[in-house]
Amino acid sequence: MLSWIRTGATVYGEPQFLPYTEDHPLAPVNPYGRTKLVIEDMLRDQCASDPSWSAALLRYFNPVGAHDSGLIGEDPLGVPNNLLPFVAQVAIGCRDHLKVFGNDYDTPDGTGIRDYVHVMDLAEGHVAALDRLDQPGCAALNLGTGLGHSVLDVIRAFELASGKPLPFKFVERRPGDLDSYDAATDAAQSSLGWSAKRSLATMCAVIGAGSRSIPTDTPNNIKTHGRRRSVTSFDD
């Protein structure tokens, strides 16, 4: 039996060292992370009890970007949970400015650092993991770039990609946000022959491609009046 599951860096919790390696202690700090760890444990137990099982636990870091065609992209309904959709909504005028949560983190520019990885790199990682599943056992693998970028790095990259300024304001930190984290990617490279190839600039150039109309009843009153709004490409 073959299986793979998308878990995430959230299973690691507070970093005891960085970058996170796959043998970093697993101590998620919120219910979302704990549910990921429960599923990982279930698959580890299943593989241990039945040698016919093979599983890959793919620990995503921060997926962003879109398919180059613009047919598949990230445009969540309601209030986004991630940075890049907020950035795209500001860029197309659905929001007046971007809220940057905290500028007093222990990082070079004071904003949080994350390991952003392009969704197409992740798709290729899944294909590589499927090829590995002819081997018995259960393997956990980080899928990230191994490079951290701050919130201000992302804003600057998006401004360069779009050719326009991105208004933002610093606001209070959110509880539980970490200063910085990134992935150790050696295991994915050696086990799958996979590594992320796309840069932050590429992620920002295609973010918002294929976005849907944003509904008028969102909590923040974002309205498009029924029009399709998209940041498909900044090369036009």
Smallest CA-to-CA distance from 211 within 80, 110, 15 is with 80
- For residues 106 and 180, what is the distance between their CA atoms, to the nearest angstrom? 8
Residue 32 annotated among the catalytic residues of the structure: yes
End-to-end Cα separation, the chain, in angstroms: 47
The encoded tokens of residue 23 equal 């043998």
Catalytic residue among 12, 20, 32, 181: 32
Question: For 213, how many CA atoms within 13 A lie in the half-sphere containing its CB?
Answer: 9
- For residues 100 and 54, what is the distance between their CA atoms, to the nearest angstrom? 42
Smallest CA-to-CA distance from 91 within 158, 169, 173 is with 158
Residues labelled as active-site residues: 32
